[in-house]
């Protein structure tokens, strides 16, 4: 942990990106419908999560704020490298999902917020980047995010609910992406790793699951 703390002491934080995200969200949602789970203690970098209640939809939204404050490590050989440097993550949750006022990771449904935050921190901790088609495990031993769920990892996907006018915005000269997370069962993650993103997309297209998180959804491999 000491190495991680020292790493972020030497990294440039771009606070303007957090401000731009706030302005971007205010274009789409009423400020009164947005609350923020503020991080009380950050040993690496400050990462909050917005909880947005959507009046005219059958879902609400969780979205990170702070992941885009640091540039991700994208290899110079990647085409259009600048398009992948900065991102935030979101998930859509059912209307009946509720959260405690303060997030510690132990509350009911808190694993959803933890999944977002752990995934958002991953590229900055390991000097890599996240983009569409990447998968992340909850633990090295493929254990679930919590006792409340059987999901053991997630896949980064483009949103099918929101178009690019929402999922891509600029802050100065920087492009910031908003990616959607799709939680995975163990055999789904193993299938994706073995067969690749395109093959997994075929499973998604066949099953056509909603983007809204369903903690009891049918396993795509067994469907």
Indicate the SS3 state at residue 135. strand
The string of pLDDT tens digits covering residues 144-156 is 999 999 999 999 9
Q: Name the pLDDT band for 2 (thresholds 50, 70, 90).
A: low
191 compared with 4, residue with greater pLDDT = 191
What average pLDDT does this structure show over 104-126?
Answer: 91
Long-range contacts of 143-146 (CB under 8 A, 24+ apart): 145/111, 145/114, 145/115, 145/183, 146/110, 146/111, 146/114
Task: Calculate the alpha carbon distances from 212 to 59, 143, 159, 209 in Å.
Answer: 7, 22, 10, 8
Q: Given this model, what pLDDT does residue 10 score? A: 75
Residue 132's nearest CA partner among 109, 164, 110 is 164
Q: Given this model, what pLDDT does residue 103 score? A: 72
The string of pLDDT tens digits covering residues 4-28 is 667 777 788 899 999 999 999 999 9
Q: Name the pLDDT band for 138 (thresholds 50, 70, 90).
A: very high
The string of pLDDT tens digits covering residues 68-95 is 999 999 999 999 999 999 999 999 999 9
Task: Calculate the alpha carbon distances from 117 to 24, 63, 90, 190 in Å.
Answer: 20, 9, 10, 23
Task: Calculate the alpha carbon distances from 30 to 88, 89, 116, 148 in Å.
Answer: 20, 20, 22, 31
What average pLDDT does this structure show over 140-169?
Answer: 97
What average pLDDT does this structure show over 108-122?
Answer: 95
Q: Name the pLDDT band for 190 (thresholds 50, 70, 90).
A: very high
Indicate the SS3 state at residue 164. helix
Average pLDDT, the chain: 93
Q: Name the pLDDT band for 223 (thresholds 50, 70, 90).
A: low
Residue 40 has pLDDT above 90, yes or no: no
Encoded tokens for 117: 């935050």
What average pLDDT does this structure show over 184-212?
Answer: 96
> Tokens 């900055």 correspond to what residue?
124
Q: Given this model, what pLDDT does residue 8 score? A: 74
Encoded tokens for 131: 């983009």
Q: Is the dihedral of CA 107, 109, 113, 115 positive or negative?
A: positive
pTM of the model: 0.94
CB contact at 8 A, 157 and 132: yes
Encoded tokens for 195: 């067969």
Beta strands 153-157 and 135-137 are antiparallel
């Amino acid at each position: 942990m000491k190495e991680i703390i020292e790493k972020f002491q030497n990294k440039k934080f771009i606070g303007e990106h957090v401000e731009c995200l706030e302005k971007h969200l205010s274009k789409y949602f009423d400020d009164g419908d947005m609350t923020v789970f503020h991080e009380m203690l950050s040993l690496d970098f400050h990462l909050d999560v917005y909880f947005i209640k959507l009046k005219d939809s059958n879902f609400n939204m969780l979205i990170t704020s702070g992941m885009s404050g640091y540039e991700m490590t994208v290899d110079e050989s990647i085409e259009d490298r600048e398009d992948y440097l900065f991102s935030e993550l979101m998930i859509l949750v059912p209307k009946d999902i509720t959260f405690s006022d303060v997030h510690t990771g132990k509350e009911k449904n808190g694993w959803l917020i933890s999944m977002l935050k752990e995934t958002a921190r991953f590229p900055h901790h390991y000097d890599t980047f996240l983009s569409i088609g990447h998968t992340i495990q909850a633990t090295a031993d493929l254990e679930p995010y919590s006792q409340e769920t059987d999901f053991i990892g997630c896949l980064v996907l483009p949103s099918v609910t929101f178009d690019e006018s929402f999922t891509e915005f600029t802050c100065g000269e920087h492009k910031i992406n908003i990616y959607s997370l799709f939680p995975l069962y163990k055999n789904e993650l193993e299938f994706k790793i073995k067969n690749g993103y395109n093959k997994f997309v075929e499973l998604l297209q066949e099953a056509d699951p909603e983007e809204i998180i369903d903690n009891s959804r049918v396993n795509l491999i067994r469907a």
